[in-house]
Amino acid sequence: MKFGIVTFPGSNCDYDAYRAVVDALGEEAVYLWHKDHDLHGSDVVILPGGFSYGDYLRAGAIAAHSPIMREVIQHAGRGGPVLGICNGFQIACEARLLPGALLRNASLKFVCAPITLRVENADTRFTSGYERGQLITLPVAHGDGRYSADGETLDRLEGEGQVVFRYAPDRLQAEESYNPNGSMRDIAGIVSREGNVLGMMPHPERAVDPVLGRPDGLALFESLLQHVAA
Amino acid sequence: MNRFRVAVHIVPRRGLLDPQGKAVADALHTLGFGAVQSVHVGRHLVLELDAPDADGARSMTREMCERLLANPVTEDFHIAEVGAA
């Protein structure tokens, strides 16, 4: 299975994503240059974290109109999986692959910490390796992660099972401080209505090696592998 | 074709939490400007562009706002000024 990882000017998690796919998952990965119009036969596209185009205008806004995004949007339109992580989630929203937007953290602080998430939907192609309600720990590192959408969109996301990950309290985090950015309804990750585009602020690709802590992100990549191979 | 200078204001949609605006309002209160009820921090863009007339410049700018300059989910835009460059 082949993963295509887009490198935008200012991407800084493309290498992490590459290592997660190649070293931890044992699959093939290629970098896709933002100016190209070729996915090189990728089965899955990863929009990685970083600060594409310096986050000028709005986080993800300029990257969403990069040349490669035409092919990424077509790939998504054909039902191809797209994984947007952190800045990639912002880009996916700006490209309208996902509803809503990510705004400045309510605290106005850049948050860099391991965070507890609850898996809300384990029936997606990204999360079948988890169990519903499972608490996992992944790192977050962002300044613009406050998921926002109008009430109707939020209700629809909840009703259709599109909320995949939510920030959740655990025994170490106080009830009122578990949500790192003020996201509406504690949303950390959502899938598209068709289920083939996942956007999430936390970084599964940075949690795939036990050397670096709990490898809770690996199951996400394994889920994708299982789904595409099936 | 004529050259126009177009000014656009982009502001967070009312009702959405605006932590930047709140931080600025708090600082103004600290300075003694107790009259300030709220602050919203947005962006001000100035474009120079070529169009047949002012209406053309305005409609082109509106399309640019809808497609890139403003986020339709969270922001409102206002074309504040269209003048000769």
Residue B75, min C-alpha distance to chain A (Å): 10
Q: Is the Cβ pair A100, B73 closer than 8 Å?
A: yes
Average pLDDT, stretch B25-44? 96
- Reported as a single tens digit per residue, the pLDDT across A83-129 is 999 999 999 999 999 999 999 999 999 999 999 999 999 999 999 99
CB atoms within 10 A of CB A216: 22
Average pLDDT, stretch B37-58? 96
CA distance A138 to A206: 8
Q: Is the Cβ pair A104, B71 closer than 8 Å?
A: no
Question: What does the domain layout of chain B look like in residue ranges?
Answer: 2-84
* Confidence at residue A173, expressed as pLDDT on a 0 to 100 scale: 59
Is A203 among the catalytic positions?
A: yes
Residues 16-35 of B with CB under 8 A from A: 16-17, 19-20, 23
Is residue A175 very low, low, confident or very high in pLDDT (cuts 50, 70, 90)? low
State which amino acid sits at residue B78.
Answer: H
> Domain spanning A2-229 has what CATH number?
3.40.50.880
Average pLDDT, stretch A151-177? 88
A1, A27 Cβ separation under 8 angstroms: yes
Average pLDDT, stretch A47-62? 96
The pLDDT mean for chain A works out to: 95
Question: Given its phi and psi angles, is residue B32 left (phi above 0), alpha (psi -120 to 50 degrees) or beta?
Answer: left
Q: Is the Cβ pair A149, B19 closer than 8 Å?
A: no
pLDDT of A174 > 70? The answer is no
> Domain spanning B2-84 has what CATH number?
3.30.1280.10
* Confidence at residue A79, expressed as pLDDT on a 0 to 100 scale: 97
Is A13 among the catalytic positions?
A: no
Is A40 among the catalytic positions?
A: no
Give me the residue from B20, B68, B74 closest to A148, CB to CB: B74
Residue tagged active-site, from A27, A86, A93, A94: A86
A74, A68 Cβ separation under 8 angstroms: no
Global pTM reads 0.94
Tokens matching residue B81: 């000024």
A189, A200 Cβ separation under 8 angstroms: yes
- Reported as a single tens digit per residue, the pLDDT across A3-20 is 999 999 999 999 999 999
Contacts of A61 in chain B (CB under 8 A): 68, 71
Average pLDDT, stretch A172-176? 61
Residue A83, min C-alpha distance to chain B (Å): 21
A107 in contact with B at a CB cutoff of 8 Å?
A: yes
Which of B74, B81, B73, B59 is CA-nearest to residue B9?
Answer: B81
